Structure 1
Amino acid sequence: MAHPRIIALATANPVAQFSQEELLTISPYTDERRRGFFLHSGIERRHLYLDKTSFRPTETTDELNARYREGSIEIGCKAIRRALELAACSAQEIDFLATTSCTGRLCPGLDAYFVREFRMKEGIQRVHVGDMGCASAMIALQQAHNYLIAFPGHRALIVSAEICSSTYYLDDSLETAVANAIFADGAAAAILASEGPGIEVLGHMSLVRPEYLGLMGFTYPNGRPRILLSKEIRGIATSMIKTLTEGILARYHLKQEEIRFWVLHSAGRGVLERAQRAMRLSDDDLAFSRGVLRQYGNMSSATALFVLNEVVKSGQASPGDLGLMIALGPGFCAEGALLRW
């Protein structure tokens, strides 16, 4: 049986990009510790769905919601359009659509807007992954993989669209300052098929640790989203990445040295540094993850697909090369996929 494969992958961002120094000028942070979260984050710039000339961090909840709606649809459509062009297929050929977003709420959801915009078929099957945070694209990839196993010959589309800038929150907490320093806006789209050239998705594995449920997610004081981001996450995330990697390698009878590409979610500088030490990875192994963090920041669910896209664009992969793709999310979870070029 042929493995489902990614036949096209594309990304999109808002036009406006900001250096960390620029963002500090419109933030309320004046103390060295909070400023350090921006300046020592491993991030040089971020794309945000904001108007550089008029933005002030005083938006109402209604204004945040409106900006999320407009931005997520806009950049999501850009990513879809580019992916369809790369796959040389029409939107009417898509049989299954999985959308992911955790930075806002829409009803009807993003999927409905994309179906209308691209005039997709009336019988298209859809699923939205909404509250699995940065791991959401991996869950969508699982669902697309499972769909294509059940319906060979069909095509599936994954779209991750995040407007993290619609979730900023200003208070005295260090964790909100960290969140404001690293999260960014972006969208990614991947088209999968059960045949043709592409990156094979050999299988998936999940690791869920509900004892850490309270360490990451959102709270909603007065209805406004506020990121929950415990400082304990870095250590726990590292342990879970290592455990998940060992599980995938054991399941497929592989050694770590056989993994050519490490497609790790660019969660933050500290998480990547700890994962590198714990798993004895080289700087080259994490070059793509660090590159995405540096140039884009953490775009929540879209980020892992951005990292994979950088691998593809590099042209370094050869037929038969293996890749391990891992993202983390609230719950607390680690989600992984084994890939083959």
Structure 2
Amino acid sequence: MAPTGLLAGAKARILDVATATPPHSYSQTDVLDLYGITDPRIRSLFTNSAIERRNLTIPPADPATGGPRTETQGELLAKHRESGISMGVEALEACLKRLGASVDDVGYLMCVTSTGFLTPGFSARIIREMGLPRTCSRADIVGMGCNAGLNALTGVTGWASAHPGRLAIMLCVEACSAAYVFDDTMRSAVVNSLFGDGAAAVAVRADEQGGGAEGAVGSAGGEGPQILKFSSLLIPEALDAMRYDWDDAQGKFSFFLDRDVPYVVGANAEQVVDTLLAGTGVRRTDVAQWIVHSGGKKVIDSVMVNLGLTRHDLRHTVSVLRDHGNLSSGSFLFSYRRLLDEGVVRPGDYCVLMTMGPGSTIETALVRWDMDGCERQ
């Protein structure tokens, strides 16, 4: 568990967030019909998922079958690379534009993905593609799964706090279409009914004491909520409940979700939130906003029940699942963007961010808006 108490040193802030998806959106029925799936169990799984549409990169039709062509593992990795770079660049460009910043302002880039493996990773490729400074520090988090966005935000916050006034970016890039196996098993159907493609960029900067330095992005301090604390919980007895491993029968990597995942997450959600709030003087009832990973209908319901939340509390989590499916590590940032667009955040509001994924792991963060932060976003 993370230690109690607030983060020390310069307070880092979330300046802004931008998202991107591939151009093609499909309803659940569209996907079923494209692949000619008639099994009533699988069709029911898709249509009762609380997901209406997802952005996907589906391969062209196979003339022999009329359905989408079966892709090799090499083709899936190429999709991961090409679609990931395209979405990642779009999200990062949009984030910088919202800030009034340029690529030259970026001092640190951390990229997160679990839908493929590249060496060099997305960070180096996007630095080259966008022309970020060659001196830009970088890191890649690969394979941590849906919780990884908050794992990475911890690292980005640490860098920003050590370099006050410098702009740090976390970029989640998830081309989930590149991680699909299509067969007639319920194991594959669960995964194929759930995940969508998307990227999200979040900009972080720590306040400088005594005002902003020359060349700093935006005004000195005040842009967005302060990041106050992180807390993690590893559930080792559920280590195999979510995994991405090699499927000999298919000759590809394949994702697996245990049917008990929602209950494992829900049963442990209260403990990690209580640890997050311990030593802060913040009670659970003081938290005005909740941003939870759109892990699936049962996961959302389980978290809601165990934390005593309402459908309104998780409205953005639910709506992102409905419109995009599970976007893996970037899901919570899509919900965060919707919260900002809603314009309801008030000075003094606390917000809990929560992600969960393989390990099994639950990650949380506590942030707080001040007057300037509300006006900025």
Q: Same fold (TM over 0.5)?
A: yes
Question: Which residue of 199, 204, 213 maps to 2:225?
Answer: 199
Give yes or no for the alignment of 1:189 onto 2:217. no
Q: Which residue of the partner structure matches residue 313 of structure 1?
A: 341
The answer (yes or no) to whether the contact 2:161–2:205 under 8 Å persists in 1 is no
Q: CA deviation at 1:2?
A: 4.2
Give CA deviations for 1:97-118 in whole Å, capped at 9, x if unaligned: 1100000111111001111122
Partner residue in 1 for 2:243: 217
Where do residues 57-136 of structure 1 align in structure 2 (5 Å cutoff)? Answer: 57-136=69-148
Using the alignment, how far apart are the partners of 2:279 and 2:189 within structure 1? Answer: 40
Q: Partner amino acid for 1:249? A: L
AA in 2 matched with 1:62: G
Give the C-alpha shift of residue 214 in structure 1.
0.8
CA RMSD of aligned residues (A): 1.5
Structure whose residues are more often helix by fraction: 1
Rounded to whole Å, the distance in 2 between the matches of 1:162 and 1:86 is: 22
What is the match of residue 68 of structure 2? 56
Q: What residue in structure 1 maps to residue 167 of structure 2?
A: 155
Confirm or deny: 8 A CA contact 2:179 2:253 kept in the other structure. yes
Deviations 1:29-85 (A, max 9, x none): 322221111101000000012357777151111211111111000000000000000
Determine which structure has more spread, i.e. the larger CA radius of gyration: 2
**Paired residues of 2:84 and 2:174 also in contact (CA < 8 A):** yes
Residues 216 and 57 (structure 1 numbering): CA distance in 2 closer, same or farther, change over 3 Å? Answer: farther
The 3-state SS of whatever aligns with 2:256 is: strand
Q: 1:240 deviation in Å?
A: 2.2
The one of 289, 293, 299 equivalent to 1:261 is 289
Letter in 2 for 1:214: D
Give how far 1:276 is off.
1.2
Aligned length, in residue pairs? 341
Q: How does 1:11-26 map to 2 (within 5 A)?
A: 11-26=19-34
Q: How far apart in 2 are the matches of 1:118 and 1:69?
A: 15
Structure 1 residue 120: deviation in Å? 1.6
Rounded to whole Å, the distance in 2 between the matches of 1:36 and 1:199 is: 41
Q: 1:233 corresponds to which residue? A: 261
Identity, % of aligned pairs? 32
1:173–1:123: structure 2 CA closer, same or farther, 3 Å change rule?
same
Structure 2 unmatched runs, 5+: 1-8, 208-220, 370-377
Task: Give the whole-Å Cα distance in 2 for the aligned partners of 1:211 and 1:282.
Answer: 29
Equivalent position of 1:36 in the other structure: 44
Instruction: Please state if 1:251 is matched with 2:279.
Output: yes
Task: Name the CA shift for 1:132/1:251 in 2 (closer, same or farther; >3 Å).
Answer: farther
- SS in structure 2 of the partner of residue 182 of structure 1: coil
Alpha-carbon contact 1:16-1:51 (below 8 Å) kept: no
Instruction: Give me the whole-angstrom Cα distance separating, in 2, the residues matched to 1:269 and 1:134.
Output: 15
> Given that residues 288 and 310 in structure 1 are in contact (C-alpha distance below 8 angstroms), is that contact kept between their aligned partners in structure 2?
yes
Q: How does 1:263-302 map to 2 (within 5 A)?
A: 263-302=291-330
8 Å Cα contact 1:26-1:57 kept in structure 2: no
In 2, Cα distance between equivalents of 1:270 and 1:18: 22
The gaps in structure 1 that reach 5 residues or longer are none
Give the SS at the match of 2:278: helix
SS of the residue corresponding to residue 309 of structure 1 reads helix
Q: Check conservation: 2:235, 2:359, Cα contact below 8 A.
A: yes
- Distance 1:173-1:50 versus aligned 2 partners, 3 A rule: closer
Mapped pair 1:3 → 2:11 = yes
Answer whether contact 2:241 2:257 (CA < 8 A) is retained: yes
Q: Partner letter of residue 318 of structure 2?
A: R
Q: Partner residue of 1:27?
A: 35
Q: What TM-score comes out, normalization by structure 2 length?
A: 0.87
Counterpart residue number, 2:213: none
Match of 1:153, SS? coil
Matched with 2:55 is 47
Cα pair distance change 1:59/1:108, threshold 3 Å: same
> Does the 8 Å CA contact 2:61/2:69 hold for their aligned counterparts?
no
Report SS of the residue matched to 1:22.
helix
2:169 match: secondary structure: strand
**Which amino acid in the other structure matches residue 228 of structure 1?**
F
Q: Is the 8 A contact 2:232 2:362 kept in 1?
A: yes
